[in-house]
Amino acid sequence: MLDWTKAWNPCARGALLSVSYRQPGVVLTDRRFSVPLDHDDPTGERIELYAREVVAGDKAAQDLPWLVYLQGGPGFGANRFIGRQAWLERALREYRVLLLDQRGTGASSPANRQTLPSRGGPREQADHLAHFRADSIVRDCEAIRPEITGGAPWTVLGQSFGGFCTVSYLSTAPEGISTAVITGGLPTLDGHADDVYRAAYPRIERKVAAHYARYPQDVERARRIAEHLLEHEPVLNGGYKLTVEAFQSLGIVLGRSDGSHRLHFLLEDAFVRTPQGHVLSDAFQEEVQGLLSFAGHPLYALVHEACYAQDERPTAWSAERVRAEFPQFDAAKTLTGDGPLLFTGESVHPWTFDTDPALRPLRDTAEELAARTDWAPLYDPARLAANEVPVAAAIYHDDMYVDTAHSLETARSIRGLRTWVTDEFEHDGVRAGGPRVLDRLLALTRDEE
């Protein structure tokens, strides 16, 4: 039975609609909030945030401490768990959990090709999106925390980009946090996007080499597909233009626990024989488009490089510029010889906005963001050096998405932070490891290990 505890009023401040329902072992409550678009202008335009409260069914009536989960990305809504999946099993033993869709994602005033035109042209859209970085997400958390906890500080779990947000939280509003747990998300505090990608391409190359060592038959398969794409450059069934550079970007899966296996199974069934010869199969096209399309998370493509920007230097398509410093990733040159094709990883390029139909209308907006020079700082090194909040972080050895050396340097800069450096998991360890990763990190914050 639905519990309509609050009437919806899109103009109201604070909490909006709350609806409670059940899944096996848990009680869920949909919660909506109204917050300022620009927290420096609290009387101006407001946007809506959505979050899902989760509590163990047998603890639903108990007064429990809160844990807020900050998803990776940027640009992804919070996980839609069923029951007690992944780390949620551990969290629900002692917390009420808030799965927050960060602004612009999921059901929180989504920012995409359908909604952004209401803002005006590319410049106005870029000005709007400048409010969708970690600093604004932290201020959203502080705006809704009194409504959720009654003013008490809460535990923050930040995965990947959510960890970046957590470090920003520790820099600007540590009084709102009782404990901070970070998984695969300790950012460089002062590095430019160029520094991030110069560290990233060698890591990506190592991941590709490890994949080919596991599946040597994929060397020829990848080359064959790339040769076909250079000759034909097909448009997939859903409208995605599959260039060889876009094909290379499938390497983004190699940073996940099952990514190498998934890539292997994709490559082995790429072609189907027809009366006209071998062509890319419909099944291959469908899976590739699902992996490459930003239709479900366009904000990721738009503000990915901006999440590293903190000064007057533009990002200026950093991943594309830095890639030119690593000619081994040039597919056309590779195919003139007999070497393996290198896949790429977590990077956004100008051509991304040409290949993907979900992004094409936003190309000029992306150009405006890439040229922007008025980015505010996201972290406060002095405040982090004086940190008093218990913090623990999982750092994954040779993490493909977040540089291990950068993470360790930042860990040393946050007073009292305890690290768990492990090669047992890839970047998605907090999901793939079930309750174990969160359990270990909570123990570290409590000096139990």
pLDDT tens readout for residues 170-222: 999 999 999 999 999 999 999 999 999 999 999 999 999 999 999 999 999 99
Q: Do residues 351 and 246 touch, judged by C-beta distance below 8 A? A: yes
Average pLDDT over residues 128-149: 98
CB neighbourhood size of 361 (10 A): 17
Q: Give me 413's structure tokens.
A: 């800069």
Q: Do residues 262 and 377 touch, judged by C-beta distance below 8 A? A: no
What are the tens digits of pLDDT across the range 290-299?
Answer: 999 999 999 9
Distance of alpha carbon 325 from alpha carbon 6, whole angstroms: 56
Taking phi over 0 as left and psi of -120 to 50 as alpha, with beta for the rest, 86 belongs to left
Q: Specify the pLDDT at position 16.
A: 54
Average pLDDT over residues 424-442: 95
- How long a stretch of residues is the chain? 449
Judge whether residue 236 has pLDDT over 70. Answer: yes
CB neighbourhood size of 94 (10 A): 14
- Alpha carbon 342 to chain centroid, angstroms: 23
Judge whether residue 312 has pLDDT over 80. Answer: yes
Average pLDDT over residues 64-92: 96
Q: Specify the pLDDT at position 10.
A: 38
CATH architecture of 14-190+379-445: 3-Layer(aba) Sandwich (3.40)
Q: DSSP for 78-128?
A: PP---SSTTTHHHHTTT-EEEEEE-TTSTTSS--STTTGGGG-SHHHHHHH
Question: What is the percent of the chain where pLDDT is above 70?
Answer: 96
Q: Residue 148 contacts by C-beta under 8 Å, 6 or more apart in sequence?
A: 31, 66, 68, 98, 154
Q: Give me 362's structure tokens.
A: 């936003």
Q: Residue 449 contacts by C-beta under 8 Å, 6 or more apart in sequence?
A: 440, 443
What are the tens digits of pLDDT across the range 25-38?
Answer: 999 999 999 999 99
Evaluate the CA torsion angle 217, 223, 229, 235 in order and state its sign. positive
| Residue carrying the six token digits 């820099």 | 171
Q: Specify the pLDDT at position 238.
A: 87
Q: Do residues 417 and 393 touch, judged by C-beta distance below 8 A? A: yes
Q: How many CA atoms lie within 13 A of 51 on its CB side?
A: 28
Q: Specify the pLDDT at position 12.
A: 40
Average pLDDT over residues 258-269: 97
Burial (CB count within 10 angstroms: exposed 0-12, middle 13-18, buried 19+), residue 327:
exposed
Q: Do residues 395 and 184 touch, judged by C-beta distance below 8 A? A: yes
Average pLDDT over residues 43-64: 97
**β partners of residue 159:** 183
**Whole-number mean pLDDT of the chain?**
94
Q: Specify the pLDDT at position 7.
A: 35
Distance of alpha carbon 22 from alpha carbon 434, whole angstroms: 22
Catalytic residues: 160, 374, 427
Task: Please write down the HEC assignment for all residues of 375-416.
Answer: CCCCCCHHHHHCCCCCEEEEEECCCCCCCHHHHHHHHHHCCC
Nearest to 387 by CA among 131, 161, 226, 182: 182
Q: Specify the pLDDT at position 17.
A: 57
Judge whether residue 14 has pLDDT over 50. Answer: no
Q: Give me 7's structure tokens.
A: 């009437």
What are the tens digits of pLDDT across the range 355-380?
Answer: 999 999 999 999 999 999 999 999 99
What is the maximum span of the chain, computed from C-alpha positions, in angstroms?
Answer: 70
Q: Specify the pLDDT at position 6.
A: 38
Q: Residue 106 contacts by C-beta under 8 Å, 6 or more apart in sequence?
A: 50, 76, 77, 78
What are the tens digits of pLDDT across the range 318-355?
Answer: 999 999 999 999 999 999 999 999 999 999 999 999 99
Judge whether residue 165 has pLDDT over 60. Answer: yes
Residue 2: pLDDT band by 50, 70, 90 thresholds? Answer: very low
Distance of alpha carbon 13 from alpha carbon 143, whole angstroms: 10
Calculate the CA dihedral of residues 262, 266, 269, 275 and round it to 10 degrees. 160
Average pLDDT over residues 56-65: 96
Could you state, in order of their start, the residue ranges of all structural domains in the chain? 14-190+379-445, 193-371
What are the tens digits of pLDDT across the range 99-122?
Answer: 999 999 999 999 999 999 999 999
Burial (CB count within 10 angstroms: exposed 0-12, middle 13-18, buried 19+), residue 317:
buried
- Give the amino acid at 244: V
Q: Residue 312 contacts by C-beta under 8 Å, 6 or more apart in sequence?
A: 373, 374, 375
**β partners of residue 272:** 279
Distance of alpha carbon 321 from alpha carbon 308, whole angstroms: 15
Average pLDDT over residues 397-408: 96
Distance of alpha carbon 417 from alpha carbon 223, whole angstroms: 45
